[in-house]
Amino acid sequence: MQLEMFVAVVEEGSVRAAADRVLRTQPAVSIAMSKLEREFETPLFDRSKRHEYRLTQVGETLYDYATRILGLRREAIAAVGDVRNVRLGRLRIGANESISLHVLPKLAQSFLTAHPGIRMEVKCERSKSLLADLQERKLDLALLSFRPEDNDVEPKFVMQDELVLITGAAHPLARRGPITLQDLCEESLMVMDVSESSPWHRKIADAFVQCKAPLHLSVENAPIETIKKMVGIGLGVAFVPLLAVREEQARGELSVVEVEGLHLERSVWLVRRRAVQSPAAKAFTQCAVQFGEALRSPTPAVLPTVLAPPRALAKAERVLLDKRRG
């Protein structure tokens, strides 16, 4: 405030005009000038002529720095406002392979259309590793395939999914009705994750044990996209998330086969720490919740896109039009 008063005195040429500018009394401005001169132990104004506020050499140096300091303060206020209003900022988000490929792109489209100034950093990893990164503050948000039990995080339900059995389009099982686990006794089975921490592997293995059916694993810990290609060329069958095979199923490249007595629900959850969230993280959370609500309405054939606010869409359209004209 003292620097602001000092700059006002220099630029207005009098204490009275400076006081009007900074909305303070004249004595308050005069006291502020005296305090600055005591702090720097030298006069800031040449008072050889009464009522004239000409700067000394020290005063000129201070004025140069003061204007820069006040300019930086204005920039800081504007930058904080941009972050607070989600015009600028950074968002670190993690997702596993299937979610990052088949859910996150549409979420990102909706979010970044409404908030084009946000820089999004994405990490693709297994859900358990993402949860650890979230707790260690390496991520702001994580999209997981299960609801964590940790009380330090807050989960938000996004959408329902399930693990399904897929075969190649020409596979004999693809032309049959519902099958049993016994029908898979001679099949080579491919799975994404066989670690002890994988709830899906445990459920599949337990189901085979209960039916006294042998489980022949031919491929383990492979990426989903690799598994889909292997299944497509007839190397075996696989259990994968349904959301990861919708497009191949629609094109007739892969078949989803119902297995009697085996229903493996697999939800998608947005998880955040129970702490103060950045404005960008709050906005993305709201976007994800809206996305899930739209998906649970009368379901379209493809995953929906949550529409951005009309102003944001109009801005995006203008930017696109300007680029085309350019």
Per-residue pLDDT reduced to its tens digit, 37-60: 999 999 998 877 665 678 999 999
Check residue 194 and give its pLDDT: 56
The yes-or-no answer to whether 2-84 and 89-159+267-325 have a common fold is: no
Phi, psi of 241 (to 5 degrees): -65, 140
Mean pLDDT of the residues in the chain? 83
Residues of the chain by 3-state class (helix, strand, coil), percent to 5: 50, 20, 30
Q: What angle do CA 189, 195, 200 make, to 5 degrees?
A: 60
What's the average model confidence in pLDDT over 121-149? 89
Alpha helices in 233-309 (DSSP H): 246-251, 279-296
Model confidence over 79-125: pLDDT tens digits?
A: 787 777 777 888 999 998 889 999 999 999 999 998 998 999 999 98
- Residue 227: pLDDT band by 50, 70, 90 thresholds? very high
Radius of gyration of the chain (CA): 31
Check residue 232 and give its pLDDT: 93
- Residue 218: pLDDT band by 50, 70, 90 thresholds? confident
Q: Which two tokens stand for residue 323?
A: 């680029």
Residue 155 clears pLDDT 50, i.e. is over it: yes
Check residue 313 and give its pLDDT: 35
Above pLDDT 70, what percent of the chain?
87
Residue 300 clears pLDDT 70, i.e. is over it: no
Beta bridge partners of 272: 154
Q: Cβ–Cβ contacts within 10 Å for residue 5, how many?
A: 24
Phi, psi of 186 (to 5 degrees): -100, 5
Contact 125, 96 (CB under 8 A): yes
Check residue 317 and give its pLDDT: 38
Beta bridge partners of 153: 273
Check residue 195 and give its pLDDT: 56
Beta bridge partners of 267: 160
SS3 98: helix
> In this structure, which CATH number among 3.40.50.2000, 1.20.1070.10, 1.10.150.120, 1.10.10.10 belongs to the domain 2-84?
1.10.10.10
Check residue 305 and give its pLDDT: 43
Above pLDDT 90, what percent of the chain?
40
Check residue 61 and give its pLDDT: 93
Check residue 251 and give its pLDDT: 93
Contact 277, 194 (CB under 8 A): no
Specify whether the backbone of 212 is left (phi greater than 0), alpha (psi in -120 to 50) or beta: left
Q: Name which of 182-191, 212-221, 261-270 the model is least confident about.
A: 212-221
Which CATH superfamily does the domain covering 162-265 fall into?
Periplasmic binding protein-like II (3.40.190.10)
Check residue 323 and give its pLDDT: 41
- Residue 301: pLDDT band by 50, 70, 90 thresholds? very low
Q: Which two tokens stand for residue 23?
A: 């909305």
Specify whether the backbone of 257 is left (phi greater than 0), alpha (psi in -120 to 50) or beta: beta
Q: Cβ–Cβ contacts within 10 Å for residue 190, how many?
A: 24
pTM for the predicted model, two decimal places:
0.66
Dihedral angle sign, alpha carbons of residues 262, 194, 243, 182: negative
What's the average model confidence in pLDDT over 239-253? 91
Q: Where are the domains of the chain?
A: 2-84, 89-159+267-325, 162-265
Residue 322 clears pLDDT 50, i.e. is over it: no
Residue 6 Cα to chain centre, angstroms: 44
Domain 89-159+267-325 has CATH 3.40.190.10: yes
